[in-house]
Each structure stands twice: as structure tokens, then as C-alpha cells.
Amino acid sequence: MYTQEALDRAITEWLVRAHPAPDRARAEWATQGVALLPLGERFAAVRVAADVVHAAVSSDHRDQVAMVLGELLGGSIIYDRRVAGGTYYALIQGHAGLVWAYDKFATCLGHGTYLGVPRIDRQQPPGTYWVIPPRHEGDLVAPRNLVALIKAGRRRLANSAELPSSDPAPTLH
């Protein structure tokens, strides 16, 4: 059985192998807590606006969002609040980005793009952190689950725009 420390090392090695110069990524994690990793081979990332995620899970409370995303998506999810109101990045299989059909609502970042990936132990603010850290090597979000979450969030946002502000938000089914 693996200890948590051994598991974290294995996950870190899986992540760092995405970089053509793994020592550079390790140095960035050591000095900045975040390393720029290239996307498209080992994994891609889908960028989802915080308002869509918060609408889908009916909360903007960090712990509640993490709990619901863990239940609905599993897989690895990063949050960066430095980007336009906050942005979630769901890691998906690299090849899934080649057929991603939802760029109008949630952009899939792949080949030619780098993502700021936090060190495995960065699991709370400030800065970029893991909302759902990888639980094992290759722990990625299933695109179909992510699409369902995005559609639910967009639907809830559209419905709330049509309701008077005193009406409660609709529930996610």
C-alpha cells in the first residue's frame, strides 16, 4: 500500500513528465508554487468561467464547490481566481481536446498552450490551487461529465436572468 507521500511523488512525476524539461517544472514549483506545463499530449484543460461552475453547483463557497465537483466530475480540477472573475480548469485526456465541440462556452486548451499547474500540495488560496487534486496518475475528468456540468450551469444562468431577483435559483437535477 502506498503512503500519501509516495502517492504524491508518483502524481508529481506524472505531471512533470508533461514538460519537455522536467527539472524546470520542478524548479518552478519549488520557487513559485506553480509550473507552466504544456498541454495537448499528456492532458488538455477545459477553461470554465467560475459563474458557470457556481451556477451548476448552486454555490460559490469553496468547500461546497469542491465537494460537488468531486461528486459530479471526479478528476483533476484547478482554480485560478486571477483570471477574469475566476476560472476553473478541468484536466481531460489530450486527444479529447481534438474533438471538443464546446469552445463557444468553455474553451479546450491543447497543443501550443501552457497551463499554470500548482504543486500537488497547493489545495487552497491564495493563488492558483487544486480544487480537486489528482488522486492518482492519469486522474482526468470525463468530458461527458464536464459537458453536463457546463450545460447545467449555463441553463441555470439563463433561467436566473429571466427570473426576478427575489426568486430563488432553480435547482440542479
Residues whose CB is less than 8 angstroms from the CB of residue 53 and which lie 6 or more positions away in sequence, other chains included: 65, 69, 88, 149, 153
pLDDT in tens, the chain (173 residues): 679 899 999 999 999 999 999 999 999 999 999 999 999 999 999 999 999 999 999 999 999 999 999 999 989 999 998 767 799 999 999 998 888 999 988 999 999 999 999 999 999 999 999 999 999 999 999 999 999 999 999 999 999 887 554 444 444 44
